[in-house]
Homo-oligomer: A and B are copies of this chain.
Amino acid sequence: MQGQLGGALGRHVLLEAYGCKAEVLDSVKGVEKTMIDAALAAGAEIREVAFHKFSPQGVSGVVVISESHLAIHTWPELGYAAIDVFTCGESVNPWDAVNYLIEMFGAESVTANEVKRGIFQGDMTVKVS
């Protein structure tokens, strides 16, 4: 149960996508479809979907998957999106979704960092003190 997880329960990629087209980031239907398709591209199982369009611009939304979640917040006026891809277990690789999203949003520049979530050292009896 080590592998890519390195003893953690999950892998959480924080993706900053810059230089995206404003009209892409301002379409709630388009952003929702892309986020769902990214989850599916990683082989995740979708459980809940909730998106919201802001006025005058911007989209926020989440896709809850069996393996955790994907989330996005867009600033079309800045060409920027803050994206999270958090997956648990060995069967899904968050980077598959991340790479899909970078391509679909046409980001000119990105930073992406993976954070391990739920690190249990030694026994699993919770008392970390």
Contacts and interface: CB of A to CB of B under 8 A. Distances in A.
Given A60-B68, A108-B127, A120-B78, A12 B9 contact: no
A118 B48 contact: no
User: Within the oligomer, what is the number of copies of this chain?
Assistant: 2
Interface of A: 9-10, 12, 14, 16, 18-19, 47-52, 54, 60-62, 64, 66, 68-69, 71, 73, 75, 78-80, 82, 84, 86, 88, 108-109, 115, 117-120, 124, 126-129
Contacts of A82: 9-10, 12, 68, 86, 117-118
A128 B62 contact: no
B128 A108 contact: yes
